[in-house]
Amino acid sequence: MSSNEGTNKSEYFFKSVISIFKIIIIALMINIIIKAFLVRTYTVDSSSMETTLMVNDKLITQVVTKFFSKPKRGEIIVFVYPETDIENSKQVLRRNPIDYMQYVLKYLGQGKMPIDDEVEYVKRVIGLPGDTINIKNNTVYVNDQAIEEPYLDENVFTNTSGSVLSFPFTVPTGQYFVMGDNRENSSDSRAWGTVPEENIIGESIMVYYPFSHLGKL
């Protein structure tokens, strides 16, 4: 084999590696853009939303609507757990889409896979900014009106034992009061306060797996 043939093979191999690397980078960028601005998928890992969502249910959560509308009462949302410090009025805010992309690119630039260090919860929106929430006699009141909750199991009991909030409670501006459908086994706004709008990732719109639970939420 001539030296030219060896050189050509080396060049071909090098160009192939570069091409594969470019394809991987492009695929990762597309994935980042989709997750930051369009849709995300999640797997439910707790029983806090039973029987609406079961453990290991896989969800499709749309992100795009967050940029055009506010969450509505009754919607199921995914958000970054704020780790609220009630006494000092401090909350941990999630990365916005631009920060998220920069975070991922920083890791990729170091030849590492990004680590998702934000804890994400799925709950139902009960109170909007400015709403006054009260819970008494196993009933949730919003602005002095009892709300209908057909999504709850008939045996579910809604209580305020162990709550860090005092009821009636008025939801602050830019915040949302959320609860799990499995009220007796849910770490939610009663336990750690409200969710800042910045932490909301999007609305969960359907279960796509397992097929026995397939359906719109």
Q: What is the set of active-site residues?
A: 48, 123
Determine the Cα–Cα distance for residues 61 and 76; give it in Å rounded to an integer: 9
Contacts of 147 (CB under 8 A, 6+ apart): 73, 126, 140, 141
Measured CA to CA in angstroms, residue 182 lies from 46, 157, 204, 211 at distances of 10, 8, 17, 22
Output the six-digit token pair for 8. 């050509």
Cα gap 1→214, rounded to integer Å: 60
Instruction: Give the whole-angstrom CA distance, residue 48 versus residue 187.
Output: 7
Integer Cα distance of 51 and 1 in angstroms: 69
162: which DSSP letter? T
Q: How far apart (Å, rounded) are the C-alpha atoms in residues 70 and 173?
A: 13
Element (H, E) at 15: helix 3-37
Helix axes 97-109, 3-37, angle to 10 degrees: 160
